[in-house]
């Protein structure tokens, strides 16, 4: 049976989890500040795609099978930690660069934006907490008697909300009004991102012991 109150509660859980600071949001903000609106939106699109992948797998029951396999979970956490350490290194390099904006002149815009998209996709696909969030959302929003279509409606609704939230981050941090803020805080913000990435990565690894 489909219950609208539970559905709305699940959307609320998703919005709170998505809007709160995390690796994806910080990466979008940092990219938008350093490279501008289009790269920020490209990375946001990658994060949204990764979230949608986990959501679709959760709705289909595939991620439940993956997460029940201890070996898969262990390697996912290791891969996620390595990727977050890589992002931390990139954030430190960007924060300590002399120029306010680091552009890859040898790359055209399309290639560069594809790289940002893949970065966003990698952030979400290698985050084991993403699938746990989706489990929580589906548990809150769907009863045992809910029709199959309800799970996919829930995933699609969350994807729309996630798109709005992530794109808002990109647009807000790439706005001209943020330029003065960026000039003052570029280095500290980049270092904060690096520390955050490293702490999450260490959390992934420590959970293995």
Distance CA 144, CA 60 (A): 14
Query: Computed from CA positions of residues 47, 111, 109, 192, in that sequence, does the dihedral angle turn out positive or negative?
Result: positive
Q: What percent of the chain has pLDDT over 90?
A: 13
Residues 5-31: pLDDT tens digits? 778 888 888 888 788 777 888 889 888
- Residue 32 · residue 170 · CB < 8 Å: yes
Mean predicted confidence (pLDDT) in 141-145 = 70
pLDDT of residue 183: 61
Distance CA 127, CA 37 (A): 25
- Per-residue pLDDT band for 65 (boundaries 50, 70, 90) equals low
Query: In this predicted model, which residue has the larger pLDDT, 100 or 78?
Result: 78
Tokens representing residue 174 in the block: 């790439």
Rg of the chain over Cα atoms, rounded to whole angstroms, equals: 18
- Residue 38 · residue 109 · CB < 8 Å: yes
DSSP string, the chain: ---HHHHHHHHHHHHHHHHS--HHHHHHHHHHHHH-HHHHHHHHHHHHHHHHHHHHHHHHTHHHHHHT-HHHHHHHHHHHHHHHHHHHHHHHHHHT-SSSS---TTS-HHHHHHHHHHHHHHHHHT-HHHHHHHHHHHHHH--TT--HHHHHHHHHHHHHHHHHHHHHHHHHHHSGGGHHHHHHHHHHHHHHHHHHHHHHHHHHHHTT-
pLDDT of residue 85: 87
Integer CA distances (angstroms), 178 to 157, 185, 190, in order: 30, 10, 15
Residue 140 has pLDDT above 60, yes or no: yes
- Per-residue pLDDT band for 106 (boundaries 50, 70, 90) equals very low
Tell me the range of 62-76, 96-110, 187-201 where mean pLDDT is highest. Answer: 187-201
pTM, two decimals, is 0.73
**Cβ-based burial of 33 (10 A; exposed 0-12, middle 13-18, buried ≥19):** buried
pLDDT of residue 64: 59
Distance CA 102, CA 134 (A): 35
pLDDT of residue 68: 64
Domain limits, the chain: 4-206
- Per-residue pLDDT band for 116 (boundaries 50, 70, 90) equals very high
């Amino acid at each position: 049976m489909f219950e609208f109150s539970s559905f709305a509660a699940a959307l609320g859980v998703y919005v709170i989890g998505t809007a709160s600071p995390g690796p994806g949001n910080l990466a979008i903000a940092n990219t938008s500040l350093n490279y501008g609106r289009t790269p920020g939106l490209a990375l946001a699109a990658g994060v949204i795609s990764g979230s949608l992948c986990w959501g679709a797998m959760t709705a289909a029951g595939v991620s439940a099978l993956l997460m029940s396999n201890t070996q898969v979970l262990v390697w996912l956490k290791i891969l996620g930690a390595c990727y977050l350490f890589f992002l931390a290194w990139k954030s430190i390099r960007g924060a300590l660069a002399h120029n306010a904006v680091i552009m890859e002149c040898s790359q055209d815009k399309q290639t560069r934006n594809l790289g940002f998209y893949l970065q966003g996709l990698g952030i979400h696909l290698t985050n084991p907490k993403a699938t746990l969030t989706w489990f929580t959302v589906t548990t809150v929003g769907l009863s045992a008697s809910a029709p199959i279509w309800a799970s996919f409606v829930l995933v699609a609704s969350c994807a729309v909300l996630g798109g709005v939230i992530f794109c808002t981050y990109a647009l807000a941090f790439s706005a001209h009004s943020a330029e003065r803020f960026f000039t003052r805080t570029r280095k500290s913000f980049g270092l904060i991102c690096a520390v955050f990435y490293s702490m999450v990565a260490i959390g992934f690894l420590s959970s293995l012991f």
